[in-house]
Amino acid sequence: MKALVVSQRLSDAGELVAVARRFGEPAILAFQESALKVEEVAAYGHRVYRVRSDRPEALYRAAASLYESLNPKVIVGPSVKNVKDAMALLAGSLDIPLITEVVELSDGGSVLTYKRGFMSERVTMTAEVPYPAIALLNPKIVKPAEKAGRGEVVDFDVGDLKVNVVGVRAKELSGVKLEEAEVVVGVGRGFKSREDLNLAFELAKILGAQVGGTRPIATDFKWLPEDAWIGISGKRIAPKLYIAVGVSGAPQHMSGVSGSKVIVAVNKDKSAPIFIQADYGVVADLYKFLPILTSKLREKLPRRA
């Protein structure tokens, strides 16, 4: 046994198995959703260890125990949050490399060779790590493996978990589809209060635009729902017009708006980094500028007002 596959979704199980087969006969640790449809995972013809839990702690425990008994050369899994959390624990406890967002993986003899993107996928890096290693893959990188008979299914007991989940609450979502909007008004920490965002909402109403924001506006202040946050770790937008108001232009934000046709920035600091990428820049206090802009547009675009 040369590889261990961590599978939590049926949608990419076949791809992970195909990659793992490059390193020899794999075993599969079926976790979460795929654990419920374990027969389909077993149809790839390899032994499946079923964990009846969806918690990263359970995955970590099962993977740590299987690592000890199976001694895999490589562990492959999907590059998704639960698996990343569990594999970070495993890599730390074993002191072995963990690589994420991998788009290509191959056996380089004495090393594991991989490719991954960085700088918002603008650059692809090729690198090597020593075996053993954990590689978490992005989906759709290879053709799924052929199914090959029925592998044995073994139930894996992880025992009592230390973390006891006492409640689960759904995120507050606006349902706003920023990715589809033609015009987006983006709000940043230049706004002093939640009520002041009305200045942006009024402008958006006149323009038929959607309102999104920077990460701190959604996560730290919670002035906008989480699905209205734009950037590398939020939504990527590609409107015809993006108007950024009181936004400094941090790279993590700008990578989410790089698909915009025209970027207009309103910022009171003339050296704000956003002016480097903006097509049009307005150096002004948003509290003075937005009411004037909205009222002028209201005169020009009376039908939307």
Ligand X SMILES: Cc1cc2nc3c(=O)[nH]c(=O)nc-3n(C[C@H](O)[C@H](O)[C@H](O)COP(=O)(O)OP(=O)(O)OC[C@H]3O[C@@H](n4cnc5c(N)ncnc54)[C@H](O)[C@@H]3O)c2cc1C
Q: Which of 91, 103, 101, 97 is nearest to 128 (CA)?
A: 97
Q: Does residue 247 bind ligand X (CB under 6 A)? A: yes
Segment near ligand X (CB under 6 A); pick from 39-47, 51-59, 175-183, 247-255: 247-255
Cα dihedral 205, 269, 227, 181 sign:
positive
- Residue number of the CB closest to ligand X reads 231
CB atoms within 10 A of CB 149: 9
Q: Is 82 an interacting residue with respect to ligand X (CB under 6 A)?
A: no
- The residue with tokens 């993986």 is 105
For residue 221, state whether it binds ligand X (rule: CB under 6 A). Answer: no
Stretch that binds ligand X, among 10-18, 127-135, 148-156, 264-272 (CB under 6 A): 264-272
Among 64, 94, 161, 232, indicate the residue that binds ligand X (CB under 6 A): 232
Q: Mind giving me the DSSP string for 47-92?
A: -EEEE----HHHHHHHHHHHHHHH--SEEEEE-SHHHHHHHHHHHH
Applying CB under 6 A, the span of 105-113, 126-134, 165-173, 265-273 interacting with ligand X comes to 265-273
What DSSP character marks residue 231?
S
267 touches ligand X (CB under 6 A): yes
**151 contributes a contact to ligand X by CB under 6 A:** no
Q: Which listed residue (13, 158, 272, 293) binds ligand X by CB under 6 A?
A: 272
> Which residue among 46, 50, 116, 253 contacts ligand X (CB under 6 A)?
253
Taking the C-alpha atoms of residue 16 and residue 3, their distance in angstroms, rounded to an integer, is 10
Q: Does 294 bind ligand X (CB under 6 A)?
A: no
| Helix (H) or strand (E) segment spanning residue 243 | strand 241-245
Footprint of ligand X (CB under 6 A): 188-190, 214-217, 229-234, 246-248, 250, 252-253, 256, 266-269, 272, 285-287
